[in-house]
Chain A
Amino acid sequence: MASNGTGSAATVSHEAVGDLSHDELRRMYETMLLARQLDERMWLLNRSGRAPFVVSVQGHEAAQVGMAFALDPNRDWLVPYYRDLALVLHFGYSARDAMLSLLARAEEPNSGGRQMPGHYGSREKRFYIGSSVVGTQFPQAAGFALAAKMRGEDTVVVTSIGEGGTAQGDVHEGLNWASIHKLGVIFFVQNNHYAISVPMDREMAVKTVAERAAAYGIPGVRVDGADAVEVYLAAREAVARARRGDGPTLFEAVVTRMTPHSSDDDDRLYRSREEVQSYKERDPLVVTRQRLVDLDVLDEVHESEILARVKAAVNDATEYAEQAPLPDPSEAFKHVYAEVGQTV
Chain B
Amino acid sequence: MEHDERVMILGEDVGKRGGVFRVTDGLQEKFGELRVLDSPLSESSIIGVAIGASANGMLPVAEIQFLDFIHPAMNQIMSEAAKTRYRSGGDFSCPIVIRAPYGGGIHGALYHSQSIEALFTHIPGLKVVAPIDPYDAKGLLSSAIHDPDPVMFLEHKRAYRAIRGDVPDEMYTVPIGKARVVREGTDMTIISYGWYVQEVLEAVDAYTQQQQASIEVIDLRSLRPLDSETILSSVIKTGKVMIVHEANKFGGLGGEISAIIAEEAFPYLDGPIVRIAGPEVPAMPYAAPLEKAFLTSADDIRAAIDRLAAY
- A336–B91 contact, CB under 8 A? no
Q: Mark B35-74, 1 if CB is under 8 A from A, else 0.
A: 1000110101101111111111111100000000000100
- B75–A174 contact, CB under 8 A? no
Alpha-carbon gap, A131 to B125, bound state (A)? 15
- A177–B49 contact, CB under 8 A? yes
- A143–B146 contact, CB under 8 A? no
Q: Which residues of A contact B47 (CB under 8 A)?
A: 139
- B45–A335 contact, CB under 8 A? no
Q: Which residues of A contact B49 (CB under 8 A)?
A: 139-140, 142-143, 146, 177
Q: Can you report 14 residue pairs joining A to B where beta carbons are below 8 Å apart? A: A121-B91, A123-B91, A129-B91, A136-B79, A139-B47, A143-B48, A144-B53, A145-B52, A170-B44, A177-B40, A335-B85, A336-B125, A344-B59, A344-B148
Q: Mark B279-305, 1 if CB is under 8 A from A, else 0.
A: 000000000000000000000000000
Q: Which residues of B contact A335 (CB under 8 A)?
A: 85-86, 88-90
Alpha-carbon gap, A180 to B49, bound state (A)? 13
Pick the contact of B52: A123, A147, A169 (CB < 8 A).
Answer: A147
The verdict on A176 contacting B45 (CB below 8 Å), with A142-B52, A143-B50, A342-B148 known, is: yes
Q: Mark B166-184, 1 if CB is under 8 A from A, else 0.
A: 0000000000000000000
Q: Mark B73-117, 1 if CB is under 8 A from A, else 0.
A: 001100110011111111111010000000000000000000000
- A121–B93 contact, CB under 8 A? no
The verdict on A173 contacting B48 (CB below 8 Å), with A77-B56, A337-B125, A343-B146 known, is: yes
Q: Which residues of B contact A46 (CB under 8 A)?
A: none
CB distance from B11 to the nearest CB of A (A): 13
Does B154 interact with chain A (Cβ within 8 Å)?
no
Alpha-carbon gap, A144 to B50, bound state (A)? 9
Alpha-carbon gap, A140 to B56, bound state (A)? 10
Q: Which residues of B contact A128 (CB under 8 A)?
A: 52, 55, 92
- B146–A338 contact, CB under 8 A? no
The verdict on A129 contacting B51 (CB below 8 Å), with A110-B89, A136-B76, A336-B125 known, is: no
Q: Mark A111-128, 1 if CB is under 8 A from B, else 0.
A: 110110001011100001
Alpha-carbon gap, A110 to B40, bound state (A)? 33
Pick the contact of A114: B40, B76, B89 (CB < 8 A).
Answer: B89
Does A138 interact with chain B (Cβ within 8 Å)?
yes
Alpha-carbon gap, A180 to B53, bound state (A)? 16
Q: Which residues of B does A touch, CB under 8 Å?
A: 6, 8, 34-35, 39-40, 42, 44-45, 47-60, 72, 75-76, 79-80, 83-93, 95, 124-125, 127, 146-149
The verdict on A131 contacting B85 (CB below 8 Å), with A140-B48, A344-B147 known, is: no
Pick the contact of B91: A122, A136, A143, A148 (CB < 8 A).
Answer: A122
CB distance from A25 to the nearest CB of B (A): 31
The verdict on A170 contacting B45 (CB below 8 Å), with A131-B83, A144-B53 known, is: yes
Does A150 interact with chain B (Cβ within 8 Å)?
yes
CB distance from B96 to the nearest CB of A (A): 10
Q: Which residues of B contact A334 (CB under 8 A)?
A: 90
CB distance from B149 to the nearest CB of A (A): 5
CB distance from B41 to the nearest CB of A (A): 10
Chain B: CB-nearest residue to A159: B52
CB distance from A150 to the nearest CB of B (A): 5
The verdict on A180 contacting B56 (CB below 8 Å), with A129-B88, A139-B45, A336-B125 known, is: no
- A143–B56 contact, CB under 8 A? yes
Q: Which residues of A contact B124 (CB under 8 A)?
A: 336
Alpha-carbon gap, A273 to B54, bound state (A)? 46
Interface residue tally on A, bucketed by range? 35 or more
CB distance from A335 to the nearest CB of B (A): 4
Q: Which of A121, A141, A142, A150 has the largest number of chain B CB atoms within 10 A? A: A150
Q: Which residues of B contact A150 (CB under 8 A)?
A: 8, 34-35, 58
Does A149 interact with chain B (Cβ within 8 Å)?
yes
Pick the contact of B57: A133, A147, A169, A170 (CB < 8 A).
Answer: A147
Alpha-carbon gap, A129 to B89, bound state (A)? 10
- B89–A112 contact, CB under 8 A? yes
- B48–A133 contact, CB under 8 A? no
Does A268 interact with chain B (Cβ within 8 Å)?
no
Q: Which residues of B contact A177 (CB under 8 A)?
A: 39-40, 42, 45, 49
Alpha-carbon gap, A303 to B47, bound state (A)? 47
CB distance from B94 to the nearest CB of A (A): 10
Q: Which residues of B contact A140 (CB under 8 A)?
A: 48-49, 51-52, 55, 80
Chain B: CB-nearest residue to A141: B52
- B80–A131 contact, CB under 8 A? yes
- A147–B89 contact, CB under 8 A? no
Alpha-carbon gap, A148 to B53, bound state (A)? 8
The verdict on A133 contacting B89 (CB below 8 Å), with A138-B48, A146-B49 known, is: no
Does A79 interact with chain B (Cβ within 8 Å)?
yes
- A144–B146 contact, CB under 8 A? no
Alpha-carbon gap, A123 to B47, bound state (A)? 20
- A146–B52 contact, CB under 8 A? yes
- A343–B147 contact, CB under 8 A? yes
CB distance from A293 to the nearest CB of B (A): 41
Alpha-carbon gap, A123 to B148, bound state (A)? 16
Contact residues of A between 33 and 80, Cβ < 8 Å to B: 77, 79
Pick the contact of A139: B48, B59, B93 (CB < 8 A).
Answer: B48
Chain B: CB-nearest residue to A331: B89
Alpha-carbon gap, A115 to B80, bound state (A)? 13
- A139–B58 contact, CB under 8 A? no
Does A151 interact with chain B (Cβ within 8 Å)?
yes
Contact residues of A between 316 and 337, Cβ < 8 Å to B: 334-337
